[in-house]
Amino acid sequence: MTAPGSADLVIVANRLPVDRYEMPDGSMGWRRSPGGLVSALEPVLRANDGAWIGWPGGTDEVHEPFVADGLDLVPVSLSADELEEFYEGFSNATLWPLYHDVVAKPEFHREWWESYVRVNQRFADKAAEVAAENATVWVHDYQLQLVPSMLRALRPDLRIGFYLHIPFPPTELFQQLPWRRQVLEGLLGADLIGFQLPGGAQNFIRLVRQRVGHKTHRDLVYLPDGRTVRAAAFPISIDAADFEELARSEPVQRRAAEIREALGNPTKVFLGIDRLDYTKGIYARLRAFGELIEDGHIDVSDAVFVQVATPSRERVEQYRILRDEIDRLVGRLNGDLGRIGSPAISYMHSSFPREEMAALYRAADIMVVTPLRDGMNLVAKEYVACRYDDDGALVLSEFAGAANELRQAWLINPYDINGMKAALLEAFQAPPRERSRRMKAMRKTVVEHDVKKWAAEFLDELSEVRGDHGKTVRPAKP
């Protein structure tokens, strides 16, 4: 057993919650990354002598543990080969497409798997070193699914939680993975495994029963060593109050007015904000909007579609192909349908700070979120949080996890172009009273179930996980 460290709560994630930046004097500093996960866990870390383990970015650099913004941060380094094989390879070209319903074809390479195992062991070793005796360790996401079992082997005294931020696939898809059993056993090192939706938890339980052979009952797995593992849904959320405060601020309101002015003050502004990813359904939604103009249902002088596509994984071939396809589509639509000063699509391939995002949410009348598959999709919730006047419309894919909670959105099947066109037009033409009724109900959901509540519920449940089950269970199948 590894000697214990001093942290009573350890967060283990692929990335540290800080980004490097160049200070005015030319030296490098660290600033906090934007994102709900950091804001949700920061107060918990501070209250529990906590530490955050993650990759700081860059390759072949070794950083000592450091403190940034009062947080104890423990870097884990990656080599250039590991970045290519563990991160771009197994995590994002094998697991990501497999877990997103094989929207793109997953690649299975043995050397990628070996790199994944090696890097997961490095994260587990670091967590074992940092965690105090009987500490709680919370491991996050698909890049680190082997860490729970590796960490339990090193430190059986720890209470271990795991949370998967992306969808967990149906059994027929997961079974394509050559290392399916190793991944399942890796996750079973945790005491509590959290998923975005109940269906993901049920898929996991079914696979454990079928592929590993453990006895299960509802959301529980009974292991031969006497441990009980629980798999359940904990839908993630955002810091709703923080987004609303930002949206109400004078600079954001002023910027929202500037955005509408720059767009020519159209009657309605449609908005999409996504990472440039093949799972997000960007191409289909722009095509649907273009067809509404071609059909004469919407005029370019009345409406514009603002699409922000944040650069993502640009070294991966599929992402480069997608960018080229969307560039061509936007060019064709604007060439065929736009007028001088009135483009059909205002397209930006760049990332923006939170203040600009909030201004875009305030400027937009209709938010369009149409992923082919998404674990949750926090953009939908961010838009709702920013609509403090109870106006605005949300067109949302039923294959986003958020659709389970935001039932009052205009829900669509992103594979059905005609259905998407009908929903976009309905949202465009909806009377103010109808928009307000739907938005009020969605805002109530987002405000009541914020990210702090999500983190508290998961950690409370983890602290109450039962120990030995005392049952006689059949051994796992060979």
In whole angstroms, what is the distance from residue 191 CA to residue 138 CA? 10
Helix (H, G, I), strand (E, B) or coil at 189: coil
Residue of 72, 239, 274, 374 marked active site: 374
91 in helix, strand or coil? helix
Give the C-alpha separation, 363 to 387, whole Å: 10
Tell me if residue 299 is catalytic: no
C-alpha–C-alpha distance, residues 102 and 173, integer Å: 8
Q: CA–CA separation, 93 vs 40, rounded Å?
A: 29
Amino acid at 149: S
Residue that has been written with the tokens 């798999």 in this structure: 231
- The Cα 128–Cα 105 span in angstroms is 36
Contact by Cβ (8 Å): 8, 135: yes
Check the CA dihedral 210-213-216-221 and report its sign: negative
User: What proportions of the chain, in percent to the nearest 5, are helix, strand and coil?
Assistant: 45, 20, 35
Q: At what angle do helices 354-363 and 250-262 cross, to 10 degrees?
A: 60
List alpha helices for 295-416, DSSP H: 317-337, 354-363, 378-386
CA distance 474 to 464: 26
Determine whether 49 is an active site residue.
no
Q: One of 8, 101, 109, 165 is an active-site residue; which one?
A: 165
Answer for the pair 473, 224: CB distance below 8 angstroms, yes or no: yes
How many beta carbons lie within 10 A of that of residue 147, not counting itself?
29
Is residue 333 within 8 Å of residue 298, measured between CB atoms? Answer: no
CB contact at 8 A, 100 and 372:
yes
Query: For residues 197 and 401, what is the distance between their CA atoms, to the nearest angstrom?
Result: 7
Q: How far is 209 from 220, CA to CA, in rounded Å?
A: 11
Q: Which residues are identified as catalytic?
A: 165, 374
